[in-house]
Amino acid sequence: MTTTENKNKVWFITGSSRGFGRVWTEAALKRGDKVAATARKLSSIADLNEKYGENVLTLEMDVTNPEQIKTAVNTAFEHFGRLDIVFNNAGYSLVGTIEESPIEDIEALYKTNVLGPVSVIQAALPLLRKQGFGHIIGTSSNLGHQTYPVIGYYCSSKWAFEAIHESLAMEVKPFGLNVTIIEPGAYATEFGSPDSFKLAPSMDVYSDYKNHFFQSMQNYERGNPDATSNAILKLVDAENPPLRLFLGDKNLLEIQKVYSERMKTWEEWNDVAIAAQG
């Protein structure tokens, strides 16, 4: 891993009001970088102005509103003169089984977790391409590679998020732009708060199963969100940043097991697959 000297980078961050977004916004500002911090409610990030003065630009932005996104991105670019890092971090979870979750709730989840980041990318790309440099970063999850029951739609949104960013990385490389997918494991953020998830209506047939799932999740060890800041700063300073970066000490072992099981199944059925070629 090689890094470049920090030159007071300029960040555009979505979801700056809480969780990882808040941690990483403040980490950038504390070291003297400049940040366009966005949130659905301006009041939730107003204190950043008092703490960091002219180094921060706070913007009200709903990631489900493409026109508001375009205005915010352009405002940030004009204010600071450039954007080094465009960081898609806003998102939430839909909690419910595949059968329970209403279509309108699934659509709302995808508008925030998938289409919102796409709108940010599409608004920022003309500016990044013109300036000839930039790093697009998106917060996914280790659930972008594996799934859990009861949060299947959230997992699926991260699988879509991963595919979009992987394709994007290939498409923008000729323009001198980098793309990185951040994949945190379980952390003690506000992600489990009512503001960060929506509960689908319950069906009695799944009650026992879901209670067991929730109990198992309560016992899951969670990392310290503040401990992730150095990793993010090393990432943005890297001369050749990776496409993917795990955060946490359990992800690699978990995902190695997941892919090992997939490979085993594909190999066991490979004769059938080959015969289907015709």
Q: Which stretch of DSSP H or E encloses residue 178?
A: strand 177-184
Q: Which pair of structure tokens corresponds to residue 207?
A: 């009650």
**How far apart (Å, rounded) are the C-alpha atoms in residues 247 and 224?**
11
Q: Which stretch of DSSP H or E encloses residue 79?
A: helix 66-80
Q: Which residue among 16, 110, 158, 187 is the active-site one?
A: 158
Length in residues, the chain:
278
Verify whether residue 141 is a known catalytic residue. Answer: no
3-state helix, strand, coil in the chain (%, to 5): 55, 15, 30
What does R_g of the chain's alpha carbons equal in angstroms? 20
Q: Which residue among 154, 156, 187, 206 is the active-site one?
A: 154
> In a 3-state reduction of DSSP, which class is residue 82?
coil
Verify whether residue 70 is a known catalytic residue. Answer: no
Asked if 214 and 195 count as a contact pair (C-beta separation under 8 A), the reply is: no
Q: Which has the closest alpha carbon to 39: 67, 10, 68? A: 68
Asked if 193 and 187 count as a contact pair (C-beta separation under 8 A), the reply is: no
Q: Which pair of structure tokens corresponds to residue 237?
A: 């300073």
Asked if 96 and 200 count as a contact pair (C-beta separation under 8 A), the reply is: yes
Verify whether residue 92 is a known catalytic residue. Answer: no
Q: Which residue among 17, 93, 140, 157 is the active-site one?
A: 140
Residues recognised as catalytic: 140, 154, 158
